[in-house]
Chains A and B, each alone.
Chain A
Amino acid sequence: MSTNQPAPGAQPTSDAFAVDADNVVKSFGALKALDGVTLRVKTGEIYGLLGPNGAGKTTLIRAIVGLVAPDSGTVTVLGRRMPDLDILAQVGYMTQQAALYPDLSVEENLRFFAAISGAEGNVTEVLKTVELDQRRTSVVANLSGGLRQRCSLACALIHRPRLLLLDEPTVGVDPQLRVQFWEHFRMMAAAGTTIIVSSHVMDEAERCQRLGLMRFGKLLAEGTPNEVRAQAGSNNLEEAFLRLSGRDTE
C-alpha cells in the first residue's frame, strides 16, 4: 500500500477532505442500502447525517471505517483509500450500541481499547473528559445506559483520533448529558478533529456545521442548517427534513 501518493481514482483535492466518499453503492440482497452516495467532509467539520431508520446512515459510516466493502465507488479517509488498517489508528468509531465488555470495569475497558491503539497514556485524561473518573472501578454491567454510553464514547476518543465517527451517540442519553456530549464534540472540532455524527434528533442537527439528509440509501440534500431550511422553504428543521425527504407532514 502506498503511503504518500494519492490513491488511484481519488479526487486531486482529497487531502482537503477528511472523508471523501465517491459514488458509493452497497446492496444487501435486494435492498440497496447505499445507492450512489457522494459525501465530502472537510477537516475540522462537524457533519450531521440525518435520516429515518433504515436510510443507510449506519451502512455509510461502516463503509467509511472499512467494515462494509462497497459494491462500487471509493472511500478515502484522511487521504488513504479504504480499506486501510493503518489509518484506522487515527479514526474513532462509536457504534450504536455501547460496545463494551460488561464484565470489565470502566477503566479496564478503556485500558484495553487504549492498548490496541497504543494510547495507554491517555486513559486518565479521557476518563476526566467524559467525567467518569469517579466511576472508573465500576463494572460496566452495573452502569446505567447513560454512563455506559459515556464509557463507549471514551473508548472511541481514547487514541485522540483525527476523525471521529459517531453512530447515534445520544440514543438513550438524557438531555443534560446530551448537552455535555455536544460540548465535547465542539471542543474537539475546534481542536481540529473531524466529526461525522448520525442522528434523528433535530435539535442535534442544529449544532452541526453541515447536514446531509439521507433516505433510501441516497443523500437527498446537503448544506448548513440555514441552507437546508432555505432549500425547503421552512423555518423549522424538522419540517424541512420531512419536505426534502419527500414525506409531507401528516
Chain B
Amino acid sequence: MSGHRIGAITSRLLHQFRRDRRTLALLFVAPIVILGLLGYLIRGSASAPSVGIANQDQGPLGATIAGSLEGSSKISASTINASDGDAKLKDGSLVAYIVFPPDFSQQAQQGNIAPEVHLEGSQPGNQAPVMQALQDALASLAAASPSAVHFQPKLTFLYGGPGLDTLDYFGAAFIGLIVFFLVFVITIVSFLRERSQGTLERLMASPLRRGEIVVGYMLGFTLIALVQAAEVLIFSLAVLRVHNQGNVLLIFGIETLMVISAVNLGIFLSMFARTEFQAVQFIPLVIVPQVLLSGILFPVSSEPKPLQYLSDVLPLTYAVNGLRDVMLKGADLTWPSLQLDAGVVAGFCVLVIVAGIATLRRQVA
C-alpha cells in the first residue's frame, strides 16, 4: 500500500468532480430539495380529514357528541344533511360522514351506542383519525355514565371495504409507477448510447426523418414495456391479490399511456445529457419529486396548498389518480374524473412526442 498512489486516485476523483458541475450540483442541491420537499409535505400538510356530521337524534346525546367532535383536532368536522353525504364522499369534499340516527339517545340508554360511520374507503389512512375522534368524544361520555355501554358503530364503505389494506391503496399507484420509472430509465440510457456510440450520427446522415426515429423508438420500447406492464398487472392481481374493482383492460390502457409518455420523456431528456452518467442523474430530478407529489404516498388533497398547484401540473398525479379510481372505485370511462385523468396523460404523451422530435438535432455540433 502506498499512500502516495492512493492519494493520486483520491485527488484525481476530486478533480473530476470539479469539472462536472452538474454532478456536484446534484450531490449537494438534490438532498436539500428532496428532504425539504418531504419536510414541507409532512409538517405543512393541511390538517385533519374533513368529516361531515348529520345529527338526526331525537334525544340530547347526538348533539352532545356532535359538539365534542367539532372540537376535535383529529378531524375537521362540519354539519351536513345525511342525504348529501354520499355525494360529498364521491366528489372528495369529505372522507367520511357520521350519522346519529333518530333513536340514538334511546339506544344509548340501553347501553348500546351505535352511530353510523360512512367512510369513503379508498384511502385506508383516513379511517383511523375518524374512529379515533369518535372514540375520544364517547370516552368523556362513558366516564360520566354509571352503567356499562357498548360502542358499536355501524361502518359502511362507499368504495372498497374493511378488507382494503395499505397494499391495495399503494398497489394501484405502484403498478403505474414501476412501469413508468423503469421504461424512462431504459429509454433515456439507450437513446444516449445511440448518441455516444456514433450510430445516431450515421442515422442523421441517412434519409431518415427525425419523426421516423422518434416514432420508431417509441413503438419498439412501447412494445417491450407493454409486456412488462402486463406482467406487473398480472402479478399484482393474481399473486398479490391487489384489490381491483374496475375493468382490467382500462388499467392496461392507462398503463399504456404511461409507457408512451415515459418513453418519449426519456427520448426528450436524453438531448440534455451528454453521458449515460448524466442521464441517470435525471432520476432524482424527474422521478423523485413526482413520486412525492403525485399523490402516491400522500393524498394530493392533504398537501400544503402551494404544493397542490405543483401536483396539479405533474402528469403522474393524473395517472395515479386514474389507476386508483379504476381499481379502488371501479371507475369507467363515463366518469368525468377518469376522462380528465386519461385526457391529461394522453395530452402529456403528445407533448413529449412533439418535444422529442423538435429537440432531436440533426447537427452533431
Residues of A within 8 A of B (CB): 28, 59, 62, 65-69, 83, 85-86, 88-89, 91, 93, 95, 97-102, 113, 116-117, 155
* A88-B206 CB under 8 A given contacts A101-B199, A102-B197: yes
Q: Separation in Å of the B316 CB from the closest CB of chain A?
A: 31
Are A101 and B197 in touch, CB under 8 angstroms? yes
Within 8 A of A (CB), among B204-254: 204-209
- Report how far A101 CA is from B197 CA in the complex, Å: 8
Given contacts A89-B207, A93-B202, contact A67 B362 (CB under 8 A): yes
Bound Cα distance from A83 to B364, whole angstroms: 14
Residues from 62 to 99 in B contacting A, C-beta threshold 8 Å: none
Residues of B within 8 A of A117 (CB): 206-207
Contact of B365 among A28, A66, A85, A95 (CB under 8 A): A28
Q: Judging by beta carbons under 8 Å apart, are A85 and B202 in contact?
A: no
Q: Is the CB of A95 within 8 A of B197?
A: no
A100 and B197: CB pair below 8 A? yes
3 pairs of A and B residues whose beta carbons are closest in the complex: A99-B198, A93-B205, A89-B207
**With A and B bound together, what is the CA distance between A83 and B362 in angstroms?**
10
Q: Is the CB of B205 within 8 A of A66?
A: yes
Q: B198 touching A97 by the CB < 8 A rule?
A: yes
Known: A97-B198, A99-B199. 11 other contacts (CB 8 A): A62-B365, A66-B205, A67-B204, A67-B362, A85-B208, A86-B207, A88-B207, A95-B198, A101-B197, A113-B202, A116-B207
For window 328-365 of B, CB contacts with A under 8 Å fall at 362-365
Q: A99-B199, A101-B199, A102-B197 are in contact. Are A91 and B364 (CB under 8 A)?
A: no
Q: For the complex, give the distance between the alpha carbons of A89 and B206 in Å.
A: 6
Interface size class of B (residues with CB under 8 A): 10 to 19
Task: List chain B residues, Cβ under 8 A from A67.
Answer: 201, 204-205, 362-365
Question: Which residues of B line the A interface, CB within 8 A?
Answer: 197-199, 201-209, 362-365
In the complex, which residues of chain A have a beta carbon less than 8 angstroms from the beta carbon of B203? 116
Task: Check if B202 sits within 8 Å of A88, measured CB to CB.
Answer: no
Question: What are some 24 contacts across the A-B interface (CB < 8 A)?
Answer: A28-B365, A59-B365, A62-B364, A62-B365, A67-B362, A67-B365, A68-B363, A85-B209, A88-B206, A88-B207, A89-B207, A93-B202, A93-B205, A95-B198, A95-B201, A98-B198, A99-B197, A99-B202, A113-B206, A116-B206, A116-B207, A116-B208, A117-B206, A155-B202
CA distance A93 to B203 in the complex (A): 10
Contact A68 B205, beta carbon cutoff 8 Å: no
Q: How far is the CA of A28 from the CA of B197 in the complex (A)?
A: 22
**Could you tell me the distance between the alpha carbons of A113 and B204 in the complex, rounded to whole angstroms?**
12
Residues on A with beta carbons closer than 8 Å to the beta carbon of B199: 99-101
Is B202 within 8 A of A95, CB to CB?
A: yes
Residues of A within 8 A of B207 (CB): 85-86, 88-89, 116-117
Residues of B within 8 A of A100 (CB): 197, 199
A65, A66, A93, A99, most chain B CB atoms within 10 A: A99
Q: A95-B198, A101-B199 are in contact. Are A65 and B208 (CB under 8 A)?
A: no
CB distance from B129 to the nearest CB of A (A): 54
Q: Which residue of B lies closest to A28 (CB)?
A: B365
A12 to B199 Cα, complex, angstroms? 36
Instruction: Collect the chain A residues with CB atoms within 8 Å of residue B364's CB.
Output: 62, 67-68
Give the chain B neighbours of A116 by CB distance below 8 A: 203, 206-208
- Smallest distance from the beta carbon of B78 to chain A beta carbons, Å? 62
User: B252 to nearest A CB, angstroms?
Assistant: 29
